[in-house]
Amino acid sequence: MNELFSLKGRTALITGGSRGIGRMIAEGFLRQGARVYISARKAAACDQTAAELSALGTCMSLPADVSTVEGARMLVAAYAAHEDQLDILVNNAGAAWGAPFDEFPESGWDKVVDLNLKTPFFLTQALHGHLRKAGQSRVAKVINIASIDGVSVNPQETYSYAASKAGLIHLTRRMALHLAKDNIAVTAIAPGAFASEMNKDARDHATEVSARIPAGRIGTTEDMAGAAIYLASRAGDYVVGSTLVVDGGVTHARG
């Protein structure tokens, strides 16, 4: 039982790992003993975060723009230069877009759906061999970062974001059934309000946002790291295709 939540000896790749939820997960994985690779579109930010997190353990920066299939494959090539297998993939890189229904642009649809829904599929596909090799000795993990907006309806007009996250939750189930035979467990996390560049309300107006959350506060690094560590470790080996909602009760309050 002492090793149930340990990640010692495991490798992890986290997209969108330079800030927000990705950084929270990276920090948690490092504290549990994993060797962590983070990726982000902005090289300077990715390098800086990796340097800061290296105080906790081995954390390496692999800057890449994974919004295209070509970019995802370039990230895989960069990772393969360091490792021949992958224990944990966290598909966290994402985007959001809000606009009134009658004005919602195609660009706001394509950018969000490509990064939030297409990228997790094709990056996992490109890393299948690395995950399968890790699965020969223990359950490898793919964790997709969805959103509570894919579970229940947010009144904000973020059409492509909500659709992409709902699609990612269902894609998680479909991928999980296929990859289970390779000893790869695919799951998802649906976060609520966590302070990040994407969720500026939670970051800049935490007190106001907290008033709408049954738990009375926004999420912390420990909340997100704990959920991800559970799914990534031995403790989560029998969780297949499920989405863990981490939102302080918001989805229930929405009805």
Residue from 37, 159, 161, 238 carrying the catalytic annotation: 161
Q: What is the DSSP string of 165-221?
A: HHHHHHHHHHHHHHHGGGTEEEEEEEE-SB-SSS-HHHHH-HHHHHTTSTTSS-B-H
DSSP-based three-state secondary structure for 131: helix
Specify the pTM: 0.96
Mean pLDDT (whole number) for 125-143: 98
217 contacts 248 by C-beta, under 8 angstroms: yes
Is 79 catalytic? The answer is no
The pLDDT score that the predictor gives to residue 195 is: 83
Task: Give the Cα-Cα-Cα angle 42, 97, 153 (nearest 5 degrees).
Answer: 130
Look at residue 254 in the predicted model and tell me its pLDDT.
Answer: 83
Structure tokens given for 97: 């877009």
Could you report the per-residue pLDDT of 159-215, keeping only the tens digit for each? 999 999 999 999 999 999 999 999 999 999 999 999 877 777 766 677 888 989 999
pLDDT band at 98 (very low <50, low <70, confident <90, very high): very high
pLDDT digits (tens, 9 = 90+) for 7-33: 999 999 999 999 999 999 999 999 999
DSSP letter (8 states) at residue 12:
E
pLDDT (0 to 100) of residue 178: 98
Q: Quick one: pLDDT band at residue 255, thresholds 50, 70, 90? A: low
Residue 69, Cβ density class (10 Å: 0-12 exposed, 13-18 middle, ≥19 buried): middle
CA 229 to mean position of chain CA atoms: 12
- List pLDDT tens digits, range 42-92: 999 999 999 999 999 999 999 999 999 999 999 999 999 999 999 999 999
DSSP state of 227: H
Domains of the chain: 11-248 (3.40.50.720)
**Paired tokens of 173:** 């189930």
| pLDDT bucket at 96, cuts 50 / 70 / 90 | very high
